[in-house]
Amino acid sequence: MGKILIIGGGAMGSAFSIPCLENNNQVTITEPYNKIFIKNLASKKKFHPSLKLNLPKKLKFKYYTKNILKEKFDLIVIALSLAGIDFIGKELKDLRIKTPLLVLTKGLKYDKKKNKILTISNLFKNNYNASNVSVLKGPCLAKELAKKNKTSVIVANKNIKIAKMIGKKISTKYYIVEFSKDIIGVEICSAIKNLYAMIIGAGIHLNTSSNLFQKSLKEMKYLIKFFKGKDETTLGLAGLGDLYVSAAGGRNSKMGYYLGKGYKFEVAKKKFMPNDTVEGEQLAREIAPFILKKTNRKRIPLMINLLKSIIYNKKLKIN
């Protein structure tokens, strides 16, 4: 159906190649800096250490150079970590690439000069002159997608025709795509759910966690409205759906458990999760300067207490 370039050889980028290939696309994957992924993707078996399986033989791997962006593709998929967004944004800008972008990366950035929270699509548009950016979010675990377990995601673009065009290229019987015009709501939801998964994990017991779950949803609704997103997005795949998966298990929920046990963040990180990346921590440190000053604290007490516990290394209060 088309030619797709995936930039980012991590678990999600690699798993995403599977439905793309099954939908009769020519798919090329490249990895800019992770030497382990480069080594494995370049091998004949294409064994992925995170997914614990061999990727399809039809998947093409190319070593990353700037020239790869000059090739003609119908869609460029960004599957890098948040730290890699500025790198690839500059590369795309320098070459004036106009190919449609689909962003899998989750996260937010704080612009200190403008005192403003930016989504990933904002960054590409405002800082790197990208004109055609869609985002893909939702409750999708890379390992389950790689095994072709039934998965639902949402593609967002203010131009719904573009979102649906992308959906046709990537959807399969097990990879079901929904669509939304609320690109900012979808991005905000997909980012802050990591923080609320930590809060729900801090409940430890089901009764407490279920109470924190419903309170978290109320706070998410406030924040989505604050950032000009749509209320219904909170109850969709990028909000409630993704929150459920993250709260049920994963690194954020695991860290929340230790915080709920009374450990300070730095102690819990060093003692129990020294080698794990906790996405919620990274997001908390990024957005805390804005959230603590610009929002109505009374509307988001759970979020405020979590941010303080991470930023100031204090015990978490969830009452």
**Phi and psi based region of residue 136 (left: phi greater than 0; alpha: psi -120 to 50; beta: remaining):** beta
What pLDDT, on the 0 to 100 scale, is given for residue 285?
95
Residue 298: which residues within 8 A CB-CB, separation 6 or more? none
173 and 201 belong to one structural domain: no
Q: Tokens 């989505």 identify what position?
A: 224
For 79-115, how does the pLDDT look when each residue is reduced to its tens digit (9 = 90+)?
A: 999 989 999 999 999 999 999 999 999 999 999 888 9
Residue where a domain terminates, one of 147, 181, 215? 181
- Average pLDDT value for residue range 35-57: 94
| 318 within domain boundaries | no
177 and 195 belong to one structural domain: no
* Structural domain count of the chain: 2
76 and 118 belong to one structural domain: yes
153 and 200 belong to one structural domain: no
| 316 within domain boundaries | no
What one-character DSSP code corresponds to residue 55? P
Res. 1: pLDDT tops 80? no
107 and 249 belong to one structural domain: no
50 and 131 belong to one structural domain: yes
What is the CATH number for 36? 3.40.50.720
What is the CATH number for 279? 1.10.1040.10
Residue 116's DSSP bridge partners are 111
| 155 within domain boundaries | yes
Q: Which domain holds residue 197?
A: 184-311
Could you tell me the pTM of the whole model?
A: 0.94
167 and 222 belong to one structural domain: no
| 226 within domain boundaries | yes
For 253-271, how does the pLDDT look when each residue is reduced to its tens digit (9 = 90+)?
A: 999 999 999 999 999 999 9
Residue 132: both structure tokens together: 């055609």
18 and 29 belong to one structural domain: yes
Q: What is each CA distance from 287 to 65, 84, 89, 240, in whole angstroms? A: 32, 18, 21, 21
| 319 within domain boundaries | no
| 28 within domain boundaries | yes
CA 126 to chain centre: 20
| 317 within domain boundaries | no
10 and 58 belong to one structural domain: yes
- Average pLDDT value for residue range 24-48: 95
Residue where a domain terminates, one of 151, 181, 211? 181
The pLDDT mean for the chain works out to: 95
147 and 20 belong to one structural domain: yes
Report how far residue 247's alpha carbon sits from residue 30's, in angstroms, rounded to the nearest whole number: 31
Residue where a domain terminates, one of 181, 215, 239? 181
143 and 7 belong to one structural domain: yes
**Sheet of strand 101-103: strand arrangement:** 60-61, 26-30, 3-7, 75-78, 101-103, 133-137, 151-156, 175-180
29 and 92 belong to one structural domain: yes
What pLDDT, on the 0 to 100 scale, is given for residue 277?
86
